[in-house]
């Protein structure tokens, strides 16, 4: 909680304003259009505790409010579509993630540390989902007892849903490269907190599958970035209408699929 308060106090509103061009563009409120869309999503069949958001596997704490979930969903989708517009996932993976991270931060989910590094597996053979779980456990620390069951349940639901797996892979893989995000969101002290884990891989061969598939360590290079982010509601509200409008405009390509 002390760290979250420090992040709140140090949130860079000037950088947020520059990022979104708030001095140049007037924000437009879209509450009625968004309300209709939210209701249509809530009526979809599926597990309320997990979803696919673009190339992100998301898991939700039941303590999160509908408003919390909406802020999380829209931020994740907005960050992905913004990064996709500016950089190629296959040839500009580091730049892609840098833009993705910057978008999440400026949507009101700041972090004090966001390392990007190569992942070295201790196992000869591993799956990308197993690797992501290990990384999430490290970042979650003492909260892993709350986080891991949520994201494990989401993966179990995803593994049984071929349609959802195809959606993730369509967004994630391209030729010999792939990336996806695995992000559980929990309530800590009454505040939404995400453990954001991004996985990127390069292969010697064309990639046909990403999740639930065994890779040999020498066949692929894997990079990851993982960090804890707590929602600054005031900062999010500054750009909420812009974010929602952009997500709504792109809903045919970037959307939520409950698991």
pLDDT interval class at 224 (50, 70, 90): very high
Q: How far is CA 16 from CA 19, 165, 203, 207, in A?
A: 5, 34, 36, 37
Q: Which residue has the higher pLDDT, 5 or 132?
A: 132
In this predicted structure, what is the pLDDT of residue 6?
A: 63
- Kindly state the average pLDDT of the residues 121-141: 92
In this predicted structure, what is the pLDDT of residue 10?
A: 85
pLDDT interval class at 43 (50, 70, 90): very low
Q: How many domains does the chain have?
A: 1
Summarised one tens digit per residue, pLDDT across range 101-110 is 999 999 999 9
Residue 24: CB atoms within 10 A of its CB come to 8
On whether the CB atoms of residues 171 and 145 are closer than 8 A, the answer is: no
pTM: 0.89
Summarised one tens digit per residue, pLDDT across range 71-81 is 999 999 999 99
On whether the CB atoms of residues 259 and 158 are closer than 8 A, the answer is: yes
Q: Which domain holds residue 128?
A: 2-258
Q: Residue 222: name the closest of 84, 148, 125 by CA.
A: 125
Res. 35: pLDDT tops 70: no
- Kindly state the average pLDDT of the residues 167-172: 90
């Amino acid at each position: 909680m002390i760290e979250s308060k420090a992040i709140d106090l140090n949130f860079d509103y000037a950088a947020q304003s520059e990022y979104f061009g708030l001095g140049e563009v007037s924000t437009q409120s879209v509450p009625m259009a968004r309300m209709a869309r939210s209701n249509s999503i809530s009526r979809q069949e599926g597990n309320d505790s997990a979803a696919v958001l673009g190339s992100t596997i998301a898991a939700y704490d039941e303590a999160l409010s509908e408003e919390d979930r909406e802020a999380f969903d829209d931020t994740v989708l907005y960050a992905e579509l913004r990064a996709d517009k500016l950089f190629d996932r296959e040839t500009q993976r580091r730049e892609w993630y840098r833009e993705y991270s910057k978008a999440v931060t400026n949507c009101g989910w700041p972090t004090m540390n966001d390392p990007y590094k190569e992942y070295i597996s201790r196992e000869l053979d591993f799956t990308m989902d197993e690797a992501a779980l290990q990384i999430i456990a490290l970042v979650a620390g003492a909260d892993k007892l709350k986080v891991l069951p949520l994201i494990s349940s989401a993966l179990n639901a995803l593994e049984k849903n071929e349609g959802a797996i195809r959606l993730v892979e369509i967004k994630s893989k391209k030729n010999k490269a792939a990336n996806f995000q695995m992000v559980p969101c929990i309530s800590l002290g009454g505040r939404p907190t995400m453990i954001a884990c991004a996985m990127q891989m390069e292969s010697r061969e064309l990639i046909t599958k990403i999740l639930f598939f065994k890779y040999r360590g020498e066949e692929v290079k894997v990079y990851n970035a993982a960090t804890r982010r707590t929602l600054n509601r005031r900062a999010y509200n500054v750009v909420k209408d812009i974010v929602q409008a952009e997500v709504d405009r792109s809903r045919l390509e970037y959307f939520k699929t409950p698991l």
